[in-house]
Amino acid sequence: MLIIDQATYDAILAHARRDHPDEACGVVTGPEGSGRAERFIPVPNAAMSPTYYEFSSEDLLQVHKDLWDRDEEIVVTYHSHTATEAYPSRTDIARAEEPNSHYVIVSTRDGAEQQSYDGPVEFRSYRIVDGVVTEEDVKIVAAYAEVPSSELGDN
């Protein structure tokens, strides 16, 4: 199960809407082992594409240098699909390198024919390990403080 706070959830949706019809991408990080997805880091889609996303080499390094300095890890890796459902594509599965990350996919496909979009967005979460996709429940909380740390530790 992915446990995510309302503010971060909203921020991911807003990013997907803002970048539509191109795919949006980014990560949410938290202290190592804490399971708290608390620092929202939108990353420019270097591909600037409606069907592909990637972090530039420079952005990838910058994100990880920040993680290193803060003793944080990636808790959530997210991106959007702008014309298809919020389910991992073959490319998503092949390129998923972080078995410990939740992979969130949001879909703005209801606006697929539009150049901008402000409507409903699907939000789904997966684990992707060695090519195997497992969808998981998403629990939205007001604040991580209300969740027992034992429950968050598995996040």
Partner 1 sequence: MAIELRVPTILRTYTGGEKAVNGDGATLAEFIDNVNGSHPGLKERIVEGEPEELRRFVNVYVNDEDVRFTGGLTTTVKDGDVVVVLPAVAGG
How many other C-beta atoms are found inside a 10 Å radius of the C-beta of residue 17? 18
**How many whole angstroms separate alpha carbon 40 and alpha carbon 12?**
8
Which residue number, 5 or 54, has a Cβ lying nearer to partner 1?
54
Closer residue to partner 1, CB minimum distance, 38 or 73: 73
Instruction: Tell me the closest approach of the beta carbon of residue 53 to partner 1, in angstroms.
Output: 6
CB of 139 to partner 1, least distance (A): 24
Binding site for partner 1 (CB under 8 A): 25, 27, 43, 47, 51-55, 57-58, 60-61, 64-65, 68, 73-74, 77, 79, 88-92, 95-100
Distances (CA, A) of 52 to 73, 103, 144: 24, 15, 32
CB 23 within 8 A of CB 79: yes
Nearer to partner 1, 6 or 91 (CB): 91
- Helix or strand or coil: residue 145? helix
Q: Among residues 11 and 50, whose Cβ is nearest to partner 1?
A: 50
